[in-house]
Structure 1
Amino acid sequence: MALHIDDLPAAIRKAKRELRENLPNYRAVFAEVEAAMHEEAHRIARLRDRGEPVIPEIAFADIVGNRVSAEQIALVKARGACVIRKVFDRSRVEQWDNDIADYVERKLLHRAEDKYFGQLASNKPQIYGVYWSKPQVLARQSPELTQARVFLNRLWRTESEGRVHFDPDHVPVYADRLRRRPPGSESLGLSAHCDGGSVERWIEANFRKVYRHVFSGNWRDYDAFDAAWRTEVEEIPSPAVCSMFRTFQGWTALTQQGPGDGTLQLVPIANAMVYILLRALQDDMADDDLCGAMPGRALSIRPEYHAPLFHALSSIPLMQPGDTVFWHSDVIHAVEDAHRGKGYSNVMYIASAPSCARNDAYLARQLPDFLAGKSPPDFPTDHFEVDFVGRATADDLTALGRAQIGLKT
């Protein structure tokens, strides 16, 4: 599912011309969207500034006990994000953190350069190109995190447009990295961005179908949790673009961390993409410019183009070891530049993904890399772990873990 474009400026000009022709009142529609986003962003800012939570929080025990209320679910779908508390016992996760430190420091592994984030205003986070440590593999295959991710997958509308889009009850492995951020680190954050597509959102046919209600002007009918066409979009090939469809990006806290600790920030508005898409069609943008979007990079969200949304940019609440945070694949996120806390701010990146043809195809490519200890297909070919003592192998997999990574039982 790769999109190849020979002349990108021409493709952007063509796409903008078509989208404007199909939505002649694009100025008026955007004015409505801008007013609505301005109101919602300021409402969230007022709540945040009063010390009220703006990222919904769910107890993992309530997921297990089927006690999550309809009101909580509605809020998660409106904000496009949630914190799930106490997915893992604290003592277990603290041991994982110690084991990861030993695993990494044994080889004095330096952080892999991250070309994907190279166009963002802030510098690169302290992310390690490590994928197959035992704690990462144990967390991914755990019944607890699997149950949390199935819950999240089920928030999506998996059947629409007369088709079934994915199976929410099966959670394939998407091996990702680690963040180990020491206290006192400065300018190691990430400026605001979205993953899962950049210029393709305007250009590629299936992306346009995902956002069909936006581009037709019926933006209030847009449902960020409708999976129609999401698993069929095509992206420009890049060594730093996620090849899987993720219902939610996410990470698991290995240490205590909160605002000021160089942690995650979100714009908790699930349908903010409506604003981003229509903003690029306005007349102050050059015909070959989509608010600075670059192929093969994160979709940068900038104050000069998307100012109203920044009012809602909020740090996630204080996290304890074993807590998790998840955000919709279209939600704007960033990382605080400075870590002014006293301890390490460490996380394992573990997203929520469902079973579908797109993801199954990636599993088939990823499996040989796991068995060999190589970097997964989506990431730089550093292959740091090939000769690491103590990396996870197939012998460390449970029956659930084998199924999730695509090993035949």
Structure 2
Amino acid sequence: MSSNKTLEQQIIAAKRDLRGRIPDLDARFAEETERLRIEVAAVQSEMRSGHAIVDLDFADIQAGTISDETRQRIRRRGVVVVRNVFDATRVAGWNETLMRYATDNDYLTKQAEKAGLDNYFGGLASGKPQIYGLYWSRPQMEARQSEELADVRSWLNHLWHQPTEGAPEFDPDRECMYADRIRQREPGDASLGLSPHIDGGSVERWLDPSFHQVYRDVLFGEPAAFDPFNAQFRTGTKEIPSPAVCQMFRTYQGWTALTRQGPGDGTLNVVPIARSAPWLILRALLDDVAEDDLCRAKPGRALGLFKEFHDLLMQAYVPIPEVNPGDTVWWHPDVVHGVENEHRGSGYSNVMYIGAAPDCDKNRRFLELLRPAFEAGKSSPDFAPEDYEVDFKNRFELRDLTPLGRKQLGYN
């Protein structure tokens, strides 16, 4: 992307270029729309008869008893709940420790002093959810370096298809640690939702050739051949640097539940359709979208969805099923997700954000930035430099890493 042009000029040039290179744009969009209509109807039907999101038990992953049919359903829906990954008693201790960690270190006062540093979600309709900029607490680090999550992420990573020729895109059995934040949402909160969006790239999905490679079948080849779980070219994308724009390749975003939560509790909603990005990308190239616009996408921000452009996709926007402490939720990086505006439940809705970022060149480069931040107690390099934890008591430190944790952080 050229820095010598304004963003509007870059968008105009990119759209003209893509329209000129894409054969039969209208026909491709019509084809993709029909596929999406089928998936939306299927999600609605599955919600009426049960739930569209795949639900597994960690013990079945460990026992190797997950069927091929279930694996294919995960690849279709792009979202899965893996239950009972951690013992409920252990998780209750983590939740208590996290809340005490924030309170004992006067986090909320310090957060108020640094309000406005993180604007990643600023362009979305509902503002920012109750997310705490904490990265290095003992519960977060113990979960990240746990054998349990290592097993879950390895199993999930193997659902991706590696290139048939050349080197694999990533090592599914080795994780690079990614430090994300936590959510502690109080019951009764009605102000801190997050409207539907996709992370991992906004305007660059149209402007940068690295993303064109990922969606090459949809744009230039045979659309039916597109596979959202095809790993080829995924680790080579170039995102616009910005606080909270992930510099790593994540096979899945995810979180670990610290409390019971479900529909109405101010928690996660998703569009459980793994193949949704092709429709979104083609949608922005149609004639009813202004020449210098990409359906209101903004650089350095989450890629938002809006009713005026994306109503069809939003018809499949559903809440996750009820989860309990120790359950985990995982979603494909192209899956649309958001957070309910209101927490109408009676208890805290708390999670630790922990996704899957397998070993690859891109992720190892990020570890070079992450290790010094960890050692100093500074914010993860992907986020605004709030650096709350530099002087926090009871912060997790280098000496607390297990051999697996050291490996995940690239110390050995």
- TM-score norm. by structure 1 comes to 0.97
**What CA deviation, in whole Å up to 9, does each residue of 1:281-320 have, x standing for no partner?**
1110111111111000000111110111111101000010
Q: Is 1:385 matched up with 2:383? A: no
Structure 2 gaps, min length 5: none
Letter in 2 for 1:406: G
Point out 4+ residue stretches in structure 1 off by more than 3 angstroms: 2-6, 111-114, 160-163
**What CA deviation, in whole Å up to 9, does each residue of 1:47-80 have, x standing for no partner?**
21x2511100111001111111101100000001
Q: Please give the alpha-carbon distance, in whole angstroms, between the structure 1 residues aligned to 2:83 and 2:4.
A: 44
Q: Is 1:238 matched up with 2:242? A: yes
2:105/2:393 contact within 8 Å kept: no
Identity rate of aligned residues, in percent? 50
Q: Please give the alpha-carbon distance, in whole angstroms, between the structure 2 residues aligned to 1:20 and 1:3.
A: 19
Q: Please give the alpha-carbon distance, in whole angstroms, between the structure 1 residues aligned to 2:229 and 2:223.
A: 14
Aligned partner of residue 107 in structure 2, secondary structure: coil
Residue 156 of structure 1, aligned match among 143, 149, 160:
160
Q: Is 1:10 matched up with 2:14? A: no
Aligned to 2:24: 25
Aligned to 1:82: 80
2:189/2:343 contact within 8 Å kept: yes
Aligned partner of residue 175 in structure 2, secondary structure: coil
CA distance 1:51–1:208, change in 2 (3 Å): same
**What CA deviation, in whole Å up to 9, does each residue of 1:355-403 have, x standing for no partner?**
0011001001100111111111111111111111100001211110111
The Cα shift of 1:35 comes to 2.1
Q: Please give the alpha-carbon distance, in whole angstroms, between the structure 1 residues aligned to 2:265 and 2:364.
A: 37
**Residues 114-133 of structure 1 correspond to what in structure 2 (within 5 A)?**
114-133=118-137
Q: Please give the alpha-carbon distance, in whole angstroms, between the structure 1 residues aligned to 2:383 and 2:164.
A: 33
- TM-score norm. by structure 2 comes to 0.96
Q: Is 1:93 matched up with 2:97? A: no
Aligned to 2:228: 224
Q: Please give the alpha-carbon distance, in whole angstroms, between the structure 2 residues aligned to 1:160 and 1:119.
A: 40
The Cα shift of 1:98 comes to 0.2
Residue 271 of structure 2, aligned match among 261, 267, 271:
267
Q: Is 1:145 matched up with 2:149? A: yes
Structure 1 gaps, min length 5: none
* Alignment: residue pair count: 406
Q: Please give the alpha-carbon distance, in whole angstroms, between the structure 1 residues aligned to 2:221 and 2:163.
A: 23
Q: Please give the alpha-carbon distance, in whole angstroms, between the structure 1 residues aligned to 2:69 and 2:122.
A: 39
1:160/1:226 contact within 8 Å kept: no
1:3/1:235 contact within 8 Å kept: no
- Please identify, of 17-26 and 4-13, the stretch whose mean Cα deviation from structure 2 is larger: 4-13
Q: Is 1:373 matched up with 2:371? A: no
Q: Is 1:206 matched up with 2:210? A: yes
Aligned to 1:40: 39
**What CA deviation, in whole Å up to 9, does each residue of 1:325-351 have, x standing for no partner?**
000011000100000000000000001
2:2/2:10 contact within 8 Å kept: no
Aligned to 1:61: 59
Residue 192 of structure 1, aligned match among 173, 180, 196:
196
Aligned residues: CA RMSD = 1.4
2:249/2:362 contact within 8 Å kept: yes
